[in-house]
A and B are shown apart, each in its own frame.
Chain A
Amino acid sequence: MKLFIRNLMLFTITCLIAFAVLVTIEKTILNNMGQFKLSMGVKYIFMGHSHPQMDYNDKLIDSSVNLASSGEAYFYTYIKLKKILESNSDKKIVFVEFSNNNIISQMNKWIWNDIYIYDRYRLYWSYTPNTERKLLYTKNPEASILCDIKSVVTNVYYIFSLKNIAKDERMGGYLHLERDKTDSLLQASLIYARNKRPDMSISPVNLMYLRKIIQICKDNGTKVILIRSPLHPVYDEFKNESRYEEVLNSQFNDVEFLDLKNFPMINSDYGDLEHLNYRGAKKYSLFFNKLLKEGLLDSADKQKFINDQMALEKWQN
């Protein structure tokens, strides 16, 4: 029995040491790969989930980079942005999407459900601070531990195969959406909407991470602006608008907020009720670029500036 336990311990320790060596190699190399270094001249960064990812075509917006990623909760945006700010000394302006679905309790799943842990935590494993790691271990220990090992092995494999597949996934970026199924969805959503109760719940954890995003930007001297990108007028999550405004006004009244949800679009500009397809993204990105060029960020009343420009855009079309 003693021999069995001794050998078992010895084997476990050997495995742990081997694993620790892999982790050290992996962390050292990845941290020196400059994965989060942005191109020179980038001034504006767009961050958030799928809405900004599909809405901002950064090729059409001067000095900008879209780093948003589908299914990304503020928790993961925080980890990513922290590394970006550490890796880029020049000051930037960060636009963080703040949409109606960013506040709902569903966001908890986006942080610690199995599938999100495997998809997201794996990407940021080497960069995740201990506090955030602890949160995942508390909420979903099994998936977190499994993901720890998967991440290290994946990263080591990428390093030694000289592949950097994970970089694009890690950083996010504009997604060219072809589809146009808004009309059919609209038909369905009218039936669906009658039966669905509004989701008035909120995710305090996700909102806490938005606060942390704001704080690291402030600490770094980076300007952060919350933004709500265009949404179709019958977008389902609008039902929590009162709750949304309450959260915005009570918890984030110290941060500038730009509301572009009413940007004039036709159905065929949407991929669905919450994402723009490439046509809509082109139209909207050109408009946003114009806003920036015409001095949106220097304007005293930014929302009025936007509303006037949107009214003009509507009139012109």
Chain B
Amino acid sequence: MLFNSLRFAIFLPIVFTVYWLLNKNLKVQNFLLFISSCYFYGSWDNRFLFILLFSISIDYLSGIQIEKTVNRNIRKFWFCLSLTVNLGFLGLFKYYNFFEQSFAEFLSAFGFKESFWTLKLLLPIGISFYTFHGLSYIIDVYKGRIKAERNIINYAVFVSFFPLLVAGPIERATHLLPQIRKKRHFDYANAVNGMRQILWGLFKKMVIADNSSEYANKIFNHSAGQSGSTLFIGALFFTFQIYCDFSGYSDIAIGTARLFGIELYRNFSFPYFSRDIAEFWRRWHISLSSWFRDYVYIPLGGSRGGNWMKIRNIFIIFLLSGFWHGANWTFLAWGLLNAIYIMPSVLFKTNRNNLDIVAQGKYFPTIKDVFDLTLTFILTVFAWILFRANNIHHALSYISGIFSSSLFTKPEISPEGIGLFSLIVLFMLIEWFGRGQQYAIAKIDLVFPKAIRWLTYFGLIIIIFYLSGKEQPFIYFQF
């Protein structure tokens, strides 16, 4: 059930209405969220539901056992059991095929023809996300940062809450579980805010991302023989596609959760308005970056050791981040490239130079800001080529194709493509003026009277229906 589908448009109001009708009984309300989440997840494939429920049960049990056991070895056993199950599922479903194929290719390079037991495993949707929910919970319980959850429904809602189940934001037990335990009250302003964020997310996904994907796919799939300028335009389209696809999804997820009185982590904070790569990573997929920071980077020593330790840790988290996205060498290369990008600012300790919002309180950036923004954006565009390419060879030929004399020729782009580009420019302008907010149109109620607001919403709805491209699944569903 996609967020941009009719099924979800029917599902959401029903769950919302029943949920608030049951407001007097928190337990029943949470049970409804759990059942709805199971239905939502099962609508893709019922078989995947069993994996999810098994993972929930193991983590729930392990959490309680870790907390109530004094014996260190037994605690460690439950901790390791939970880690093994979570990472085992992830490894099996997400990485088995990759390792098997890579090993076979490696052997064949030396003339060996090995035939392996080939498992054509389907990747359960959202496994990378709910596995990370479970891992953060079990690590926090083991480290004594939180108490184990005794109510299995509460825990199941924490892992499987349908807005965040398939593509995040990746939540922490310390943030979400207290909200699930506590009685929620309907808040008008919060609900309206949620609806507005859903609308904005749909616009980003259905209008910008889906339309950009058509052009990006066309250029990436037929990149041979294209001019450098056309290839660059293709990379630009993908840059906006991935941003609007994923941040659009996150907006819908966060907005939906708001309708239920639950606040989720912010996942994006206008990443294309970053002045360096370190700032970009503080603004892009925030919930994953902070997860790696808290559960990998800091335990490894973070930036407390010498330069070599810092370099090692940076490479580890970026390679892990790349590998988290998928079992493909292109993702690893993407992670590696980002590690290289960020390295100078870490070594020269300038990585925390830009903690504020660019040109805060001003309409326009300074010339230096423009230079920094452009440079960071272009570096990001090239990194996305690795992310989007079918394989490393494709990525390298794509990049070398850009750096040819044809880079300065007129790109082959249709009038519709130019129209879409103009729309993207308009969209980025709106994002620019709203960059100090949670999402670009969050404060529209403070600026415009009701009639204008409603007209804006109506206009957005019409634009979504009129300009929506061919329906595409969310990119991050595959992770």
Contacts and interface: CB of A to CB of B under 8 A. Distances in A.
Interface of A: 1, 3-4, 7-8, 11, 14-15, 18, 114, 141-142, 145-146, 149-150, 153-154
Given A149-B466, A153-B462, A11 B186 contact: no
B465 interface: yes
A153 B465 contact: yes
Interface of B: 5-7, 20, 186, 188, 191-192, 195, 454, 457-458, 461-462, 465-466, 468, 471
B20 A146 contact: no
22 contacts: A1-B186, A1-B188, A4-B186, A4-B188, A4-B192, A7-B192, A8-B195, A11-B457, A14-B458, A15-B458, A15-B461, A18-B458, A114-B471, A145-B6, A146-B465, A149-B462, A149-B465, A150-B466, A150-B468, A153-B465, A153-B466, A154-B466
Given A11-B454, A142-B6, A4 B462 contact: no
A141 B6 CA distance: 8
Contacts of A150: 465-466, 468
B156 to A, nearest CB: 26
A3 B462 contact: no
Determine the main DSSP class of B at the interface with A: helix
Contacts of B465: 146, 149-150, 153
Given A4-B191, A14-B458, A150-B466, 9 more contacts: A1-B186, A7-B192, A8-B195, A18-B458, A146-B465, A149-B465, A150-B465, A153-B462, A154-B466
Determine the main DSSP class of A at the interface with B: helix
Nearest to B6: A142
Nearest to A22: B462
Nearest to B191: A4
Nearest to A148: B465
A141 B458 CA distance: 22
Contacts of B186: 1, 4
Contacts of B462: 149, 153
Contacts of A3: 188
Contacts of A11: 454, 457
A8 B196 CA distance: 12
A146 B465 CA distance: 6
A19 B195 CA distance: 20
B185 to A, nearest CB: 10
A194 to B, nearest CB: 28
A140 B5 CA distance: 12
Contacts of A15: 458, 461
A11 B199 CA distance: 14
A8 B7 CA distance: 19
Going nearest first, the 5 A-B pairs with the smallest beta carbon separation are A149-B465, A142-B6, A153-B466, A1-B186, A4-B191
B458 A146 contact: no
Give the one of B7, B188, B195, B466 with max A CB within 10 A. B466
Contact of A146 (B7, B192, B454, B468): B468
A146 B210 CA distance: 15
B307 to A, nearest CB: 55
A146 B470 CA distance: 11
